[in-house]
Amino acid sequence: MKKAATKGEGASGENPSRLIDARINELDDWRGETLARVRALIMEADPEAVEEWKWRGVPVWSHDGIICTGETYKSAVKMTFAKGAALEDPTGLFNSSLEGNTRRAIDIHEGEAIDEKALKSLIRAAVALNASTRSQKKVRNA
């Protein structure tokens, strides 16, 4: 897999991609496998995504703004899309954090299959939304 560009450093000064590698390796169960698969799908959908490490240990993928995070919990791997409420979700991937006006999340539980085509489409839509928001800001500031 092609390594993502990285931005910033973790609290220890380490490269964010290496910190994400370490998180995947320390989760030696289905959560590590799922986080690794999610990471690969993000990079397939947007090879220009930047890996970051924020908020005391949360993997983050960005492109003109945050695309999503990859949090791990005992019973789920949670992908939180920063602007998820503004994204079309025709296949109903979002199943968590549905009550807010901005974010939406996908909780992936042990044994659940990931609709890879739909997820990559959602990631590309998030990138496009970030790009359009950035372009609108440039126009307003010109």
Which pTM does this prediction carry?
Answer: 0.85
Per-residue pLDDT of the chain (142 residues; tens, 9 = 90+): 444 455 554 445 789 999 999 999 999 999 999 999 999 999 999 999 999 999 889 999 999 999 999 999 999 999 999 999 999 999 999 999 999 899 999 999 999 999 999 999 999 999 999 999 765 555 455 4
The string of DSSP codes covering the chain is -PPPEE-S--TTS--HHHHHHHHHHH--SHHHHHHHHHHHHHHHH-TT-EEEEETTTEEEEESSSEEEEEEE-SS-EEEEETTGGGS--TT----BS-SSSS-EEEEE-TTPPP-HHHHHHHHHHHHHHHHHHHHHHHHHH-
- Tell me the domains of the chain and their CATH numbers: 5-141 (3.90.1150.200)
At residue 141, the pLDDT reads: 53
